[in-house]
Structure 1
Amino acid sequence: MAAKRFQPYAAVFKGDQEQAARLYALNVELSGALLELLHFAEIGLRERMHTQLSREYGRYWFFRNGPLLDDRSRSKVATATKYFGKHPDPGRVVAEFSFGFWRELLTPGGKVTDSNNKYLRHADYQHELWEPALHRVFLERGRTSYDMKDAEHLTRRVQRARNRVSHHESLVFGVAQPGEQTSDKLKVRQSPHAMLADIRELLAIVSPEEVNTWLASCRHAEELITDDLAHAALDHALLTLNDVSWI
């Protein structure tokens, strides 16, 4: 692999190539363990959101006769349905939507324009999506339900972890939160432990109880992030990343 890609792992052990290779392999193994959990988190999220929106607006809620989606969302719907004909199977369409599409439905909504790109208004996802339908997805068992902002923040952090895994990037050094900073201008970074906790939290919300019971026995990710090699990587990041606030 490129020396630049391997360098952060070697830096943890002051150039010890064997230990660096072990850490790199652990990071790959961690990605695989998290992918198993992320699979069920993403599938569960989209199925629960689709179910609630279908109950409120019908199976074809993503078309114009449903809630008013903003230009960004409508563009993704058009791309997903381009080759499916006028009356596609909703299940096939839903499977085409990315994690980002679902997360964006938890934001306030963006601009809406007509076919001539003339501005009409802003979509109102709070009143058209969250209040009539999507809040029911985030009714956490035994606790107060999430508000829309909390739900979006959680899914955003999980999406970043998913993207990090999908692009074969490092996890043992934490996950950057682009565009976020503290009041004193520090960049925000999430530790592997907090990342795993978020994934588990989303799973608890969107997965049936029997699935969560099984997933609770899948502890390989926990074992890996508590390994001595993973501890060494995180300690190195804590010492060398001076402009960062950790979550």
Structure 2
Amino acid sequence: MTNRLPEWMLRDLSLPRLRRYIRAVHGDAPAAERLYWWNIEASAALLGPLHCLELALRNALHNALARYYGRPDWWMVAPLNERGHKLVNDARRTCGRRLSRITPDDVVAELSFGFWVSLLSHGSGYDRHFWVPVLHSAFPHYRGRRDSLYRELTSLVLLRNRVMHHEPVHHRHLSADHATLYRVLGYLSLELAKESKTMDRFPAVLAGRADVLRGARPPRF
């Protein structure tokens, strides 16, 4: 087997993208190819749990804020910072390009994972305006500090973005990421965390990494 990536792979996937995998395996081209495919396999396996977390988080925070402010479009009266208002306005414009009538649910679905996580930050007094009076109640199974929860969620935003933008995740401590994901999901809903685990194939994918990298089994996604 040649120690060079196939020409079609260099053409179709691009050397700048593949170079990160080549460096990770110290120039071993066959290993770089296997690592690339395993990275896709791992990212695909993480998509389901990340899906559950993102939807559960945004629904929990939205429902808590809608109750607190007494209206489903709570962002119209809540003390969002400048960036928060921009993200809401961007979401509304995006909805307006494809919908004749925009509902609060449309805006909620359009807002990013990063927006929802930012509501738990210390910035612009969000800890006082949001966490203390209302958002702590969105995590019925959490008794820790806001800043600890925010750090966990920020790490998961980075993981989610790498998965969704087809970036490398193989270099991360993926077993720790996976544990954090389920820990935070459990803060929101023990039932959803339990159900998600019954369908989660990521542990098997992670356990099979060494077999894929040495060529003992083909990657699958």
Q: TM-score range by the shorter chain?
A: 0.7 to 0.9
Name the CA distance, whole Å, in 1 between partners of 2:36 and 2:186: 30
> Residue 54 of structure 1 contacts residue 60 of structure 1 at CA under 8 Å; is this kept in 2?
yes
Q: From the two aligned structures, give the one with the greater strand fraction.
A: 1
Q: Pick from 159, 162, 185 the counterpart of residue 161 of structure 1.
A: 159
2:56 maps to what in 1?
A: 44
Q: Pick from 70, 76, 81 the counterpart of residue 63 of structure 1.
A: 76
1:107 aligns with 2:121: yes
* Pairs within 5 Å for 1:87-236: 88-110=102-124, 124-140=125-141, 145-174=143-172, 191-207=173-189, 209=191, 211-229=192-210
1:76 aligns with 2:87: yes
Q: How many residues align?
A: 197
Shift of residue 208, structure 1, vs aligned partner:
5.3
- Structure 1, gaps ≥5 residues long: 111-123, 175-190, 234-247
> Residue 58 of structure 2 contacts residue 116 of structure 2 at CA under 8 Å; is this kept in 1?
yes
Shift of residue 55, structure 1, vs aligned partner:
1.1
Name the CA distance, whole Å, in 2 between partners of 1:192 and 1:15: 23
Name the CA distance, whole Å, in 2 between partners of 1:161 and 1:130: 24
Amino acid in the other structure paired with 1:146:
G
> Residue 172 of structure 1 contacts residue 230 of structure 1 at CA under 8 Å; is this kept in 2?
no
Q: RCO (CA 8 Å, sep 6+): is it higher in 1 or 2?
A: 2
Shift of residue 19, structure 1, vs aligned partner:
3.2
Using a 3 Å threshold, how does the CA distance of structure 1 residues 74 and 230 change in structure 2: closer, same or farther?
Answer: farther
Name the CA distance, whole Å, in 2 between partners of 1:156 and 1:228: 26
> Residue 224 of structure 1 contacts residue 230 of structure 1 at CA under 8 Å; is this kept in 2?
no
Q: From the two aligned structures, give the one with the greater helix fraction.
A: 2
Please give the TM-score of this superposition, normalised by the length of structure 1: 0.71
Amino acid in the other structure paired with 2:176:
A
2:37 maps to what in 1?
A: 25
Using a 3 Å threshold, how does the CA distance of structure 1 residues 229 and 130 change in structure 2: closer, same or farther?
Answer: same
Name the CA distance, whole Å, in 1 between partners of 2:74 and 2:211: 44
Q: Deviations over 1:48-92 (max 9, x none)?
A: 00011111112221103xx3111111111222223399x842111
Shift of residue 12, structure 1, vs aligned partner:
5.1
> Residue 49 of structure 1 contacts residue 137 of structure 1 at CA under 8 Å; is this kept in 2?
yes
Shift of residue 228, structure 1, vs aligned partner:
4.2
Name the CA distance, whole Å, in 2 between partners of 1:93 and 1:228: 39
